[in-house]
Structure 1
Amino acid sequence: HQIQKLCMKKLSLLIGAGLILLWSCDSGSKIDEQAFLDSLETTESDNTVISEEVLESILQQIPSPLEIAVLLKESGTNYDIELLNGTDNLSNYNSNFKKALNLGVYGTDLGYTNIYEQNQDAFKYLTAIRDLAEGLSIGQFFDFGVIRRLATNSRNLDSLLLITTKNFNNINASLQEQQRANLSVLLLTGGWLEALHIICQVTERNMNNEELKERIGEQKIILENIMLLLSFYSESNPNIKELFNKMSELQAQFDSIEITQTYAESTLEEVNGIVTISNNSTTTINITDENVAEISRITSSIRDYIIK
């Protein structure tokens, strides 16, 4: 299998630290595997680099923690800090492996507190994020004074996203130069898993909400991309290999979910004098209550491994 052949290669990823609400809101189709393969360039030292274009394609598959938080709030779900990883766990994260994972976790938690306008909690998570970022030597890329003001006011969300995105290339270059690009993958994984944990916990309390259940089902495609990234480091890094194995159990459960896409020709529509293209294709996600319960169980188990 082509992906298996690539697992032994060292991959220098230009992934940015998915710090503080950085992930794309587009949860589109699975990345073109052949495009991914074609983008790899093997040098004499067997170092493999992925192109920025293909990397961007991967990142666009990752749902924004903010997007999920907005969905929960709009569904009438009340704010519940018990769903989040407590900042008192910060002292437990002594290794770069745990720091990177939980930097992603806390980034999602910050987004959740921001959407619900819980300013005091947002400040606590921002402080934890600052400490972890500095511990990973990437804190210099963030003006935490500015970010703090923006993060504690949901009306400034667009500005917050702009600032974090502005630092994207700087963080990429720094991690690559320091040969620590694997930390970017861990940031991404931690943030995604925390978002999945939150939505699973809420959905289990309200199994009648089909929109929430479908959003969980959509993560099947996202997880495939994350597993692809983790696989490149699983052979050379024992910690990532252990995480990869745990995530494989989650992927096995997602495999039982059927996602069917039905193509329909796009049409032109005029809205307020502006002609737009309407995508008429549909996606059907078949996910049962049992699927949700099992995904929630496995996700909680992996999350416990990450945050404790």
Structure 2
Amino acid sequence: MQFEGTSAYVADKDLTVAVNAAIRLERPLLVKGEPGTGKTELARQVAQSLGLDLIEWSVKSTTKAQQGLYEYDAVSRLRDSQLGDERVNDVANYIRRGKLWDAFAADKKTVLLIDEIDKADIEFPNDLLQELDRMEFFVYETGETIRARQRPIVIITSNNEKELPDAFLRRCFFHYIRFPDMETLQRIVDVHYPGIKQALVREALTQFYAIRETAGLKKKPSTSEALDWIRLLVSDDVDPETLRGDARNALPKLHGALLKNEQDVHLFERLAFLARQRGT
């Protein structure tokens, strides 16, 4: 199996090397990067490129590692026993399979995405060490061991909100998706909006990178926000010259797609005011 990117996803050489190395080593691929740089989409595109099914496990702050294996519904079993339901005689009726179980039980290789692992408790990664390493786990209620029929390709994403344990990191192949340079981002724009006016793209990207590099910016706009902004510029048929003129003395046009908090809006309002003052 060899991942080389897809027509809908621009993957640089380092990223494709990382994906293929993780596949060969049969290790989870841990992908970090700024929000909006395509970490989650990578798993979807790997699955599409290799013709595999994708199983997604979206992690939340309340998610426990056990939920990825299975959950035992003791409350429903107690209720059914009180009602005389015959289902209570088989405890398996009250076992709910998790995403890891689904991946292990699949008849063919799958791509398993564990998305935003850093949202969960710090113990969450450690609690999955053995299962991801051995590709098996034990179901205490039924006394059975669930082993992977086909070892899945595991892709784990993190926004770097908290440090992950060293023991977990040792078992992963790591890749950091750097924010794309202007040339790469232009290729990404071309993939999403084929036939777009290149003059508009160049001016928009020039302004976009200037915004990202503004001193004091609390939240830098991401790749996905750049794509949203350019889509709005295209739909409004904004002239590149108008965009260039606004950049000198006003808030960025349609700035709500790029600036996502009031501090950054106020920052650009102040900069626009100072620019107008200098121009008078």
> TM-score by structure 2 length?
0.23
Larger-Rg structure? 2
Larger helix percent: 1
> TM-score by structure 1 length?
0.22
